[in-house]
Amino acid sequence: MIRKKLFRHEDEHKMQIDSDILDLSFENCKKTHPETISKYFPNIINFPNIINVPDELLNIQLEFNAALNKINYLNNVVRYVYNPLDYAIVPYRDYIGKYCQSCKEVLFLGMNPGPFGMCQTGVPFGEIEFVKNWLQISGHVLKPAVECPKRPILGFNITRREHSGKEFWSLMKEISITPQVFFKHSFVYNYCPLTFMNADGANVTPKEIKKENLHIRKKLEEICDEYLFKLVELLKPKTIVCVGEYAETKSKSLLRVRSPPLGSINIIKIKHPSRRAAKKKSDDQLDWREDTLKVLREKNILPFLCQDGVATQ
């Protein structure tokens, strides 16, 4: 009888130790790599507070779209508005499903979609060849509600290559070799998912919405701020790499207001790879590449983009 009780207590003690180890390991997985829970803890189902990052990000985006759709953007300058995360949600879902399964160390933040990149593919800096052949993203693309005749949406049938996306992903491929290495610790997102065009189809950036239309820009930026905050809360990056001055301005502004709940986040800026942003039009590709590598190296971002954290650039 005594022997039976002793063994029972010993078993219970062992079970308690095993349970403590399980809880510790589970908590670690839940916080750092939620996508591994089903692999290492197959018997745990419907556990409260488990965050499915791609599903949560998609929900954030759908709420974001609904909020943006409440604003009338048309005015004397803006005549067409495209939201690729509405009509190109299928490839975007493929993008986040493949490359945003967990929290990230680094968030690359662009301004808004380009007419020949993300507007066509649903992927930030979504130059067609890199989206199809390197990122391996696919999916059916619909049409916007009102299409600009000079900027038709061709989806994955587009043949024109976008300069910004080509330069951005070309460098990231050079650094990371594979998208799996690049996205292990980083993600790419746009502050604003909308593209604005004038009557001739020329791009109108958010910062170019001025004067009598400033009230529209203010409403737009309030919504974009709110959902950038939600994204940062979800992904918990330690560094935001802002692609261009506008993204840097909005990130710093947001952190000034929301810094305590977001914690300490480093904000750094790289130049935007577009030709419009380049100061030296003759050799903008070389300038952008070298300048970007220099910033990423000096700010110690390269190890997060390289295999085994070893930077060779």
What is the DSSP secondary-structure string of 216-280? HHHHHHHHHHHHHHHHHHHH--SEEEEESHHHHHHHHHHHHHHHHHH---EEEEE---STTT-S-
Residue 33's pLDDT is 55
- pLDDT digits 0-9 by tens, 297-311: 999 999 999 987 666
Q: How far apart are CA 25 and CA 84, in angstroms?
A: 40
User: What percentage of the chain has pLDDT greater than the value 90?
Assistant: 73
Considering only CA atoms, give the Rg of the chain.
23
72-86, 92-106, 246-260, 271-285: least confident range:
271-285
Q: How far apart are CA 179 and CA 77, in angstroms?
A: 38
- pLDDT digits 0-9 by tens, 182-192: 999 999 999 99
104 and 232 share one domain = yes
- CATH number of the domain enclosing 201: 3.40.470.10
Q: Which of these, 308, 291, 116, lies nearest to 197 by C-alpha position?
A: 116
Structural domains in the chain (count): 2
41 and 168 share one domain = no
105 and 217 share one domain = yes
Q: With cut-offs at 50, 70 and 90, classify the pLDDT of residue 264.
A: confident
Q: With cut-offs at 50, 70 and 90, classify the pLDDT of residue 92.
A: very high
- pLDDT digits 0-9 by tens, 16-62: 434 444 444 444 555 455 555 545 544 444 444 568 999 999 999 99
Residue 155's pLDDT is 98
**Interacting residues of 48 by C-beta distance below 8 A, sequence separation 6+:** none
| pLDDT of 260 higher than 50 | yes
264 and 212 share one domain = yes
Residue 261's pLDDT is 64
17 and 156 share one domain = no
Q: 258 or 273: which carries more pLDDT confidence? A: 273
φ, ψ of residue 181 to 5 degrees: the values are -70, -45
106 and 120 share one domain = yes
118 and 32 share one domain = no
133 and 243 share one domain = yes
H or E segment and range at residue 39: helix 37-40
φ, ψ of residue 239 to 5 degrees: the values are -140, 135
Question: Which DSSP category does 157 fall into?
Answer: G
40 and 174 share one domain = no
232 and 153 share one domain = yes
217 lies in which domain range? 51-309
63-67, 157-161, 284-288: least confident range:
284-288
Q: With cut-offs at 50, 70 and 90, classify the pLDDT of residue 127.
A: very high
Residue 259's pLDDT is 66
**Domain end position, chosen among 30, 47, 64:** 47
| pLDDT of 110 higher than 60 | yes
